[in-house]
Amino acid sequence: MENISKKVVDFQSGKIVGYVLDYALDFQNFLQVGFFVVDEETEGEFLLRFENIKSVGDVIFVDGVSSLEFVSQRQKSLIGFEIFDENATSFGVVKKVEVERRKVLKVITDKCEILPRMIKFVGDDCVFLKGKQNRKKRKSVFDLSSDEIKVSIQSEKLEDFAPEKLNLSFRFFAGKMSTVDVFGYNNERIIAKNEIISKNIFEKAKKHNKLNELFFAVQK
C-alpha cells in the first residue's frame, strides 16, 4: 500500500518523528483521513491528518510534532476481517484495501472484490454487506436488492492472512531469518533468502517500502 513505511519528518527541526504504519480510514464514508504513524523508539502510535501534512514525497513532511495526535488505541485495520452477507455466507477475508485520492475504491478479499457501496457496516471483527446476495457458481454478479453490481473474482493468489496489527519495529525483526528473497524498487534483490535481519537490512527494507513484505517473509 502506497506510503506505508515512509518516514515522517518534522520540517521545522529536521527530526524523524516516526514512520507510516497504516491508513487512517473513515469507515462510514469510506474515505482516508490520514495516516497512523509509529515512533520507532517508544512504539507510541499517532494520527496524522491530511490537513497537518506539509508535503508527501520520498518522506512525509509535517510542521512540528504537534501535528501528530497521540492515539491510545488505534482503530482496527480492515485487513484480516471476514466479510458476510445476511445469509451468513462468507465472501472471504480482507487482504487489501485500494485507496485513490483519499477514497476507498474497493476492498479485496481472498475470494472477490467488494465495492464500498455494498458494505452495510464495519463491526468489531467482521464486515457485513447490504441486502441478500445471490451467489451463483462461476459467476461474478451479486444481486443487492434491485442493484446489480459486478464484482470481479480474483484469480491471482493474494498475500497470506495478515494479522490485525503488523509489527514493523526493528525489535520484532532483529535476528530473524528471511524465508524468501525480497526485491526493491528497481527489482534488485535487497534481502536474500535465509539472510538474518540486521539493523542495516531493516533500514534498507524501510527505504524500499518493503517492511510489510518483510513481515510475512521472516520466520515467526
Q: Are residues 139 and 195 in the same domain?
A: no
Residues 50 and 86 in one domain: no
Burial class, 48, CB count within 10 angstroms (exposed 0-12 / middle 13-18 / buried 19+): buried
One domain, residues 145 and 175: no
Q: Indicate the range of 113-117, 141-145, 178-182, 206-210 predicted with least confidence.
A: 141-145
What pLDDT band is residue 11 in, cutting at 50, 70 and 90?
Answer: very high
| Residue 155 is assigned to a structural domain of this protein | no
Residue at 29 is within a domain: yes
Residue 126 counted as domain residue: yes
Q: Which of 79, 96, 151, 90 is nearest to 118 (CA)?
A: 151
Residue type, 110: D
Same domain, 49 and 93: no
Domain ends where: 28, 50, 70?
Answer: 70
CATH code at position 100:
2.30.30.240
pLDDT for residue 167: 53
Asked if the structure places residue 35 within a domain, the reply is yes
Residues 23, 62, single domain; the answer is yes
Band (186; pLDDT cuts 50, 70, 90): low
Q: Is residue 165 part of a domain?
A: no
73-85 pLDDT, tens digit each: 777 678 888 999 9
| Structural domain count of the chain | 3
In the structure, what pLDDT confidence band is assigned to residue 44 with cuts at 50, 70 and 90?
A: confident
Q: What is the pLDDT of residue 139?
A: 38
Cα separation, 216 vs 40, in Å, equals 19
Q: What percent of the chain has pLDDT over 90?
A: 18
Residue 191 lies in a domain: yes
Which domain covers residue 107, as residue numbers? 82-150
Name the band, by pLDDT with cuts 50, 70 and 90, for residue 128: very high
Judge whether 77 lies within some domain: no
Q: Which pLDDT score is estimated for 144?
A: 42
Domain boundary among 42, 70, 98: 70
Question: Is pTM, for the whole model, over 0.75?
Answer: no
Report pLDDT for 111. 87
Residue 1 located in a structural domain: no
Write down which residue in 43, 70, 97 finishes a domain. 70
62 and 86 in a single domain? The answer is: no
